[in-house]
């Protein structure tokens, strides 16, 4: 019986050498040294061996197991190395083929519009001024001629922090005060872009967060004519030559007089359509002469200084320019929507 073990070892070793791939090698392992393999089952024949020969028989079986296990591992490593080299040949880059154009990202449509607006006003001599998103209630309302009992506060549903005197800004207008206090007593021409927050119901036309660009000019003899000329030139640069514009009387607590600026509808060119609600006009911004109280809070004497201010929403302008009907698209992170604006970079 011990002599038969040598024949078994020679036969299964020869079969091991014939394994051409890892799948065949695994089949060999299961058939020979696996739990139910031929070599493992030899131990069950121990009862057929004379008691005196059993130690030698068991020792020989263990030697065969050890030898076959080592041979199996060596063959497995060789087949893995061969398979890796074959895959490397298959995946090798053919440098003669044309290259693959990488997919490039693009700027967000809000960012595109804001940069366009900043360039236009930059050409007019306006500098960009950054103000904080979290401000005091006094800066957001009080310094802008809106004391605690002012009804205009009800128009802006405010996010308050754990400190009732600290809020998320509802508009960038508070930055006017910071800019005036910082640059007093020099003349000012700045725009203040940034994010604003209002606790409003999210709809196709309103969001809880949105961008706003505020503009401020303060000087010794600034008039409403300066405001009108500046904004008319801005509309021409942004919406195209010959685009009609008009100013309508309005009310804002921090400007007096106040106005809203409309442009001729981009879709119907002033003839009346669903987009402009048959009026032929689209509102793009609010503006006015800086209120004397706001000038005083900024450190300027309203008897010697005057100024104008304006505010606009880049998302609204983007919606008008590109025919976007739902403001929620700007914050949905839908790549199908965002990729449409890559050509406008």
Mean pLDDT for 214-229 is 95
Is residue 24 located within the same domain as residue 131? no
With respect to residue 102, please indicate whether it lies within any of the assigned structural domains: no
Mean pLDDT for 164-181 is 92
pLDDT attached to residue 68: 83
| Band (66; pLDDT cuts 50, 70, 90) | confident
Domain count, the chain: 2
With respect to residue 281, please indicate whether it lies within any of the assigned structural domains: yes
Return the minimum-mean-pLDDT range out of 170-179, 298-307, 331-340.
331-340
Comparing CA positions, the residue from 205, 209, 222 lying closest to residue 295 is: 222
pLDDT attached to residue 151: 79
Of 3 and 108, which is predicted with more confidence? 108
Question: Residue 333 pLDDT more than 90?
Answer: no
Is residue 57 located within the same domain as residue 155? no
Is residue 26 located within the same domain as residue 149? no
| Band (85; pLDDT cuts 50, 70, 90) | low
With respect to residue 276, please indicate whether it lies within any of the assigned structural domains: yes
- Core vs surface per residue 114-132: b (16+ CB within 10 A) or e: bebbbebbeeeebeebebe
With respect to residue 184, please indicate whether it lies within any of the assigned structural domains: yes
Is residue 122 located within the same domain as residue 77? no
Is residue 316 located within the same domain as residue 224? yes
The pair of three-digit structure tokens given for residue 121, joined into one six-digit string: 């006003």
Is residue 78 located within the same domain as residue 170? no
Is residue 17 located within the same domain as residue 142? no
DSSP secondary-structure letter at 182? H
Is residue 184 located within the same domain as residue 323? yes
Question: Residue 16 pLDDT more than 90?
Answer: no
d(CA 298, CA 214): 16
| Band (88; pLDDT cuts 50, 70, 90) | low
Mean pLDDT for 33-46 is 76
Is residue 52 located within the same domain as residue 122? no
Question: Residue 90 pLDDT more than 60?
Answer: no
pTM (predicted TM-score):
0.67
Question: Residue 141 pLDDT more than 70?
Answer: yes
Which of 90, 118, 146 terminates a domain? The answer is 90
Is residue 339 located within the same domain as residue 232? yes
pLDDT attached to residue 13: 84
| Band (167; pLDDT cuts 50, 70, 90) | very high
| Band (178; pLDDT cuts 50, 70, 90) | very high
d(CA 224, CA 221): 10
pLDDT attached to residue 12: 80
d(CA 237, CA 233): 6
The CA distances from residue 51 to 41, 45, 55, 157, 317, in Å, are: 19, 12, 8, 96, 99
With respect to residue 190, please indicate whether it lies within any of the assigned structural domains: yes
With respect to residue 100, please indicate whether it lies within any of the assigned structural domains: no
pLDDT attached to residue 3: 65
With respect to residue 219, please indicate whether it lies within any of the assigned structural domains: yes
pLDDT > 70: what percent of the chain?
94
Is residue 84 located within the same domain as residue 179? no
pLDDT attached to residue 254: 93
pLDDT attached to residue 102: 80
Question: Residue 89 pLDDT more than 60?
Answer: no
Q: At 248, which CATH number?
A: 3.30.930.10
DSSP, collapsed to helix, strand or coil, labels residue 258 as: strand
Is residue 80 located within the same domain as residue 187? no
Mean pLDDT for 259-282 is 83
pLDDT attached to residue 276: 77
| Band (84; pLDDT cuts 50, 70, 90) | low
With respect to residue 213, please indicate whether it lies within any of the assigned structural domains: yes
Question: Residue 345 pLDDT more than 60?
Answer: no
pLDDT attached to residue 259: 96
Which domain does 287 fall in, by range? 109-344
| Mean of per-residue pLDDT scores for the chain | 86
């Amino acid at each position: 019986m011990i002599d038969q073990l040598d024949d078994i070892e020679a036969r299964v070793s020869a079969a091991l050498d014939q394994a051409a791939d890892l799948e065949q090698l695994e089949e060999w392992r299961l058939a020979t040294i696996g739990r139910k393999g031929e070599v493992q089952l030899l131990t069950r024949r121990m009862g057929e061996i004379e008691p005196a020969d059993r130690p030698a028989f068991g020792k020989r079986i263990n030697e065969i197991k050890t030898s076959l296990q080592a041979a199996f591992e060596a063959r497995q490593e060789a087949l893995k190395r061969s398979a890796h080299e074959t895959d490397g040949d298959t995946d090798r880059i053919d440098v003669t083929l044309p290259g693959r154009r990488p997919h490039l990202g693009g700027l967000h449509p809000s960012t595109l519009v804001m940069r366009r607006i900043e360039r236009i006003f930059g050409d007019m001599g306006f500098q960009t001024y950054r103000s904080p998103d979290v401000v005091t209630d006094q800066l957001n309302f009080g310094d802008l001629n809106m004391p605690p009992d002012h009804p205009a506060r009800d128009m802006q549903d405010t996010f308050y922090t754990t400190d009732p005197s600290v809020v998320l800004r509802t508009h960038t207008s508070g930055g006017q005060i910071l800019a005036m206090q910082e640059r007093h007593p020099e003349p000012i021409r700045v725009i203040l872009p940034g994010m604003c927050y209002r606790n409003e119901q999210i709809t196709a036309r309103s969001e809880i967060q949105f961008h706003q660009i505020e503009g401020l000019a303060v000087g010794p003899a600034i008039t409403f004519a300066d405001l009108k000329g500046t904004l008319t030139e801005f509309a021409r640069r942004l919406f195209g030559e010959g685009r009609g514009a008009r100013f309508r009387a309005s009310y804002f607590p921090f400007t007096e007089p106040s106005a809203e600026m409309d442009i001729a509808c981009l879709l119907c060119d002033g003839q009346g359509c669903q987009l402009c609600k048959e009026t032929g006009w689209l509102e793009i911004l609010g503006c006015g002469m800086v209120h004397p109280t706001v000038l005083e809070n900024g450190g300027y004497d309203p008897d010697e200084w005057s100024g104008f201010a304006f505010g606009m929403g880049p998302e609204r302008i983007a919606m008008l320019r590109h025919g976007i009907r739902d403001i929620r698209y700007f914050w949905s992170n839908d790549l199908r929507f965002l990729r449409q604006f890559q050509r406008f970079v």
